[in-house]
Amino acid sequence: MKHSLAIKAENISKQYRLGEVGTGTITHDLNRFWAKLRGKEDPYLKIGEANDRSRKGDSEYVWSLRDINFEIEQGDAVGIIGRNGAGKSTLLKLLSKVTQPTTGSFKVNGRIASLLEVGTGFNPEMTGRENIYLNGAILGMRKHEIDRKFDEIVDFSGVERYIDTPVKRYSSGMYVRLAFAVAAHLESEILIVDEVLAVGDAEFQKKCLGKMGDVSKGEGRTVLFVSHNMAAVQNLCNKGILLDKGKVISQGDVHKVLGDYLNTNQYEIFPNFNKDIFLSNFNSYTIGDKAKPVVAGLNAIFEFEITSKIEKYDILIGLGINDLYGNRLITPFSKHTNNSFHIKKGLNRIVCEIEKFPLKPSTYNLEVYVGTENEVYDYYDKGLSMDVEIIGNNNLLNIPDNTQGSFIINQKWV
């Protein structure tokens, strides 16, 4: 392993058996033992399916990760992205040695401090103070080294008043603030953070991102960051790894990987047939031509097909349009124009028209709401996306660049 590398993953795979804890049965254990004794391959490595949540599988074995290979240089900040179930959290758990890979190995140069889901890393019976010293000791730090960092950790976490209280009495927000402060400030060469931004207020999230930036750019430590917040990944990371169904499908420069994520994130609708009312199809196009995608500056049509098992009045339809980093840009919503719909049993077609579509050419992620004022029947956010294009110049000589916002506005200069 090259001295400049922080982490090298070689043929990492992780297999789980559904519905079981451990390997499953004594028979399976004996078969594995007998194969190992004879120098043969584990017979259960030959079976199993990719972890595809969009369909029902046939095998009781699932590969959460399969044949993962990558190298991470010291000082890199690496964003690990992908849809839910892609294997992101499993990869971090393997790196943190919470669990062992089924096949393959990691070579790591340095100590790892990790912040996974809420509830890991601390002894709930111990106080915040005791847990800080425990985590430092696990990293191999001496007491006087932890003493030097202690005040900084407590100040960052904002839990000074409760530092001598058992952490089992902390709220989830307090717990994560202290856990992040410990992981980020203690002297490890590699920091692993899994969705820390999912808990805590906006001020704390901003504080965390700032600290991770300092850790990577200022201190030269290696950061691995899992998040669904693409804006945070873009701002913090210089490298990216894209996972899909347990496999690496793109890695390298973070902007390239984010672009690849968007290109693989245009999925067909997977209706939830268990619901009484659900989105069964969706289409977006330029008015007058269903074959033409939405064009900036021209009237756009958004067509919703709603399937219902019941008859229902006063249904509202909403469409959230987000940029590729997850920031909400506009929300066409029938409630805004006092439009509600009578949904009949079977297939219903509802259309929204937006005049002179105002967003510049790009790819946008979509979310669809179907419900009433008081009840949500379906909320579809499973990777719908659309492309906005430009044909000719649509009276625009220059398209706004990334520093000038996302909107094209009608303007007249005199």
- Is the pLDDT at 193 greater than 80? The verdict is yes
Give the model's pLDDT for residue 51.
Answer: 52
Beta pairing, strands 312-322 & 328-330: antiparallel
Assigned architecture for domain 1-22+48-110+189-264? 3-Layer(aba) Sandwich (3.40)
CA-based nearest residue to 82, from 198, 324, 245: 245
Distant-in-sequence, close-in-space partners of 50: CB < 8 Å, separation ≥ 6:
62, 63, 66, 245, 246, 247
Which phi and psi (to 5°) does residue 368 adopt? -120, 130
* CB-CB contact of 340 with 311 (8 Å): no
Q: How far is the C-alpha of 346 from the C-alpha of 311, rounded, in Å?
A: 9
Nearest to 113 by CA among 44, 215, 183: 183
**pLDDT band per the 50, 70, 90 thresholds, residue 53:** very low
Predicted confidence at residue 111, as pLDDT, reads: 87
> Looking at this protein, which amino acid is placed at residue 220?
G
Please give the residue that has the higher pLDDT: either 176 or 71: 71
Question: Rounded to whole angstroms, how far apart are CA atoms 183 and 112?
Answer: 9
Residue 368 pLDDT class (50, 70, 90 cuts): very high
Residue 98 contacts by C-beta under 8 Å, 6 or more apart in sequence? 116, 120
Per-residue pLDDT, averaged over 272-283, amounts to 92
- Is the pLDDT at 276 greater than 70? The verdict is yes
For 51-153, strand residue ranges (E) read: 61-73, 77-81, 103-108, 112-115
Residue listed under structure tokens 């430092």: 136
Mean pLDDT of the chain: 82
- In tens, the pLDDT along 120-137 reads 678 889 999 999 998 888
Domain 277-389: which CATH number of 3.40.50.1980, 3.40.50.720, 2.70.50.60, 2.60.40.650: 2.70.50.60
The pLDDT assigned to 387 comes to: 78
The answer to whether residues 301 and 286 touch, using CB atoms and an 8 Å cutoff, is yes
Residue 217 DSSP class? I
Choose among 230, 214, 248: nearest CA to 383: 230
pLDDT for residue 73 is more than 80: yes
Of 233-247, 265-279, 298-312, the range with the highest mean pLDDT is 298-312
Q: Is 236 helix (H, G, I), strand (E, B) or coil?
A: helix
Annotated domain spans of the chain: 1-22+48-110+189-264, 112-184, 277-389
Task: Report which of residues 271 and 401 the model is more confident about.
Answer: 271
Q: What backbone phi and psi angles, to 5 degrees, belong to 393?
A: -120, 0
Q: For residues 343 and 199, what is the distance between their CA atoms, to the nearest angstrom?
A: 37
User: Between vectors from CA 155 to CA 149 and to CA 157, what angle results, nearest 5°?
Assistant: 100
Confidence of residue 309 (pLDDT cuts 50, 70, 90): very high
**Greatest mean pLDDT range, 41-50, 233-242, 292-301, 306-315:** 306-315
* CATH code for the part of the protein at 112-184: 1.10.8
The answer on pLDDT for 181 being more than 50 is yes
pLDDT (0 to 100) of residue 68: 94
pLDDT of res. 49: 47
Cα separation, 411 vs 414, whole angstroms: 10
* Type of residue numbered 258: L
Residue labelled with tokens 């509802």:
350
Confidence band for 50, pLDDT divided at 50, 70 and 90: low
- Is the fold of 1-22+48-110+189-264 the same as that of 277-389? no
Between 284 and 384, where is the model more confident?
284
Q: pLDDT tens across 148-172, in order?
A: 999 999 998 889 999 999 998 988 7
Which pLDDT value is given to residue 200? 57
d(CA 409, CA 406): 10
